[in-house]
Amino acid sequence: DRWVELEVLDEPGDEGGTLHVVVADSGDGLPEGTDPEGVFAEGFTTASGALARNNRAGGGQGFGLALARQLARRRGGEVKVLERGTRGGPGAVFMATLPQTTAGSGAAKILGEAGKDGNG
């Protein structure tokens, strides 16, 4: 079974606050020794070594990273790796930290934007 789990944490602040979107998936995870900065800059490679966008038949899909990265790019935020393998299994956990500086930048709007384009 394939799955993606989202958790949204709202951190209020004087200038709108911050949203932390934690994204976990059941993919191959981040290969050991992989530099997370390189992954964010170059695109996701699964633990099996295949580029995620070319690996639709099986293994990791790179969806967790793609979703977190797209949210961060659209909202001027940043992404970091929380876990290389998910809780008790394969996959990875990423967190997009997003500033909320404008009206209408709440969780529902931001998460709705994540599915608009697949160019993660």
Q: What is the pTM of this model?
A: 0.64
When pLDDT is averaged across residues 67-88 and rounded to a whole number, the result is: 81
Over residues 82-109, the pLDDT tens digits come to: 888 755 566 888 899 999 865 555 555 6
Confidence of residue 111 (pLDDT cuts 50, 70, 90): low
DSSP strand pairing (4-11 vs 93-99): unpaired
Residue 83: closest CA among 74, 75, 93, 73: 93
Average pLDDT of the residues of the chain: 71
Take residue 66 and report the two structure tokens written for it: 């793609």
Take residue 2 and report the two structure tokens written for it: 């394939």
Rounded to whole angstroms, how far apart are CA atoms 85 and 12? Answer: 30
Take residue 33 and report the two structure tokens written for it: 């020794």
pLDDT value, residue 41: 52
